Amino acid sequence: MKEFKIAVIPGDGIGPDIIREAVKVMTKVGEKYDTKFNFVEVKAGGDAIDAYGNPLPQETIDECKSSEAVLLGAVGGPKWDNLEGSKRPERALLGLRGALGLYANLRPAKVYNVLKSASPLKDEIIDEGVDLLVVRELIGGIYFGDRGTEEVNGVETAYDTEKYNVDEVKRIAHSAFKSAMKRRKKVTSVDKANVLDASRLWRKTVNEVAKEYPEVELNHLYVDNTAMQLVRKPSQFDVILTNNIFGDILSDEASMITGSIGMLASSSIREDSFGMYEPIHGSAPDIAGMDIANPLAQILSAAMLLEYSLNMSEAARDIEAAVEKVLNAGYRTADIYVEGTEKVGTTEMGKLVLEQI
Ligand code: IPM
Ligand code: MG
């Protein structure tokens, strides 16, 4: 029997509700493949602030580092909104990404056929197909650059810095091109090269890396245009390669297009197989603990974990197929509910998926 140590961070809001279901699903699929997962639960975000006064305790970092992969729920909530920047729950996310060196964030946005009507876009746009992957640089740029708040000539002033070096751009560009090779072989690199120096270096470097992937078609778009194109014709995109801040914004837009953000998983990875896996959606504190949150994005994050970090693609396919079966059978959580389907809660949805494995 194989054994893997998995760090589990339920976090805040609906995090604990949905991660519970994902852990059950992983355990079940583990039995099928003669694999034991040793889940080690640790705290981060508001949960850790309440327990230790620190959003990212060293113990959490250490447990993650000594694991094969990390499964994360969500962090943050209004309870901690008034804390100073460096003490907020979101710091835990940025801190974990940085400490673990997770420079590549892969955020797929795909419209499930049975959930097509959930998309806010017109049918004729959706019918062209939406199946894209945002590859976001995750540990550089303005979210990690120099920052400060100071008085300049008696006026309170704040600044943040967008800064990238060639090596940082190269490695994330390679992630994007490699992903594209497994998909439809198209990369759209997104920047603001008409204004920003950091973007001009980005574009030049991406063009260099592209030479190593002659089969992949590369184009460049400005970020404002990309925001527009995503709603005008999302089918034109395969892999979107971009920096930390643009990727943050565009991945939210891309997930909204699918209409079912409660279904979307993401991975944050580096060169080796280690990674952190989490739903794209946030902690939804307003529905926490009510057993109504959609656990599917979390369950699909577990599938991604199996595939990328543990090399268990068959088990991952099993989970994905189970989710599709449950949707095809007409079960929906409140966020994706439409008339004529059957509404179920978090635990029930988890159980239905489990039964299909
Ligand atoms: C995300 C989130 C985080 C980010 C926040 C919570 C720091 O929006 O994962 O996209 O901006 O990276
Ligand atoms: Mg975001």
Query: What are phi and psi for residue 55, nearest 5 degrees?
Result: -65, -25
Q: Which ligand is nearest to the CA of 278?
A: 1
Beta bridge partners of 149: 158
pLDDT digits (tens, 9 = 90+) for 219-245: 999 999 999 999 999 999 999 999 999
CA of residue 330 to ligand 1 center, whole Å = 32
CA of residue 246 to ligand 2 center, whole Å = 10
Write down the pLDDT at residue 28. Answer: 98
Q: What is the rounded average pLDDT of the residues 329-349?
A: 96
**pLDDT surpasses 90 at 309:** yes
Which tokens sit at 76? 């943050």
CA of residue 215 to ligand 2 center, whole Å = 31
* Contact (CB, 8 A) for 75 and 278: no
Q: Of all protein residues, whose CA lies closest to atom 11 belonging to ligand 1?
A: 248
**Radius of gyration from C-alpha coordinates of the chain:** 20
Cite the beta strand spans of the chain per DSSP E.
Answer: 2-11, 35-41, 69-74, 104-110, 131-137, 147-152, 155-160, 186-191, 217-222, 239-242, 265-269, 275-279, 331-332, 342-343
Q: How far is CA 313 from CA 29, 114, 209, 320, 357, in A?
A: 12, 24, 28, 10, 14
Query: What are phi and psi for residue 345, nearest 5 degrees?
Result: -90, -175
Catalytic positions, written as ranges:
143, 192, 224, 248, 252
> Mapping DSSP to helix (H, G, I), strand (E, B) and coil, where does residue 158 land?
strand
The pTM assigned to this predicted structure is 0.93
* Contact (CB, 8 A) for 321 and 356: yes
> Mapping DSSP to helix (H, G, I), strand (E, B) and coil, where does residue 221 land?
strand
Q: Of all protein residues, whose CA lies closest to atom 8 belonging to ligand 1?
A: 248
pLDDT digits (tens, 9 = 90+) for 7-17: 999 999 999 99
* Ligand 1 atom index nearest CA of 105: 9
CA of residue 117 to ligand 2 center, whole Å = 24
pLDDT digits (tens, 9 = 90+) for 38-65: 999 999 999 999 999 999 999 999 999 9
Q: Of all protein residues, whose CA lies closest to atom 7 belonging to ligand 1?
A: 90
Q: Provide residues with CB under 6 Å of ligand 1.
A: 90, 93-94, 248
**What percentage of the chain reaches a pLDDT higher than 70?**
100
Residue 113 pLDDT class (50, 70, 90 cuts): confident
Write down the pLDDT at residue 86. Answer: 84
> Mapping DSSP to helix (H, G, I), strand (E, B) and coil, where does residue 162 land?
coil
Q: How far apart are CA 160 and CA 139, in angstroms?
A: 15
Q: Of all protein residues, whose CA lies closest to atom 4 belonging to ligand 1?
A: 248
**pLDDT surpasses 90 at 275:** yes
pLDDT digits (tens, 9 = 90+) for 166-187: 999 999 999 999 999 999 999 9
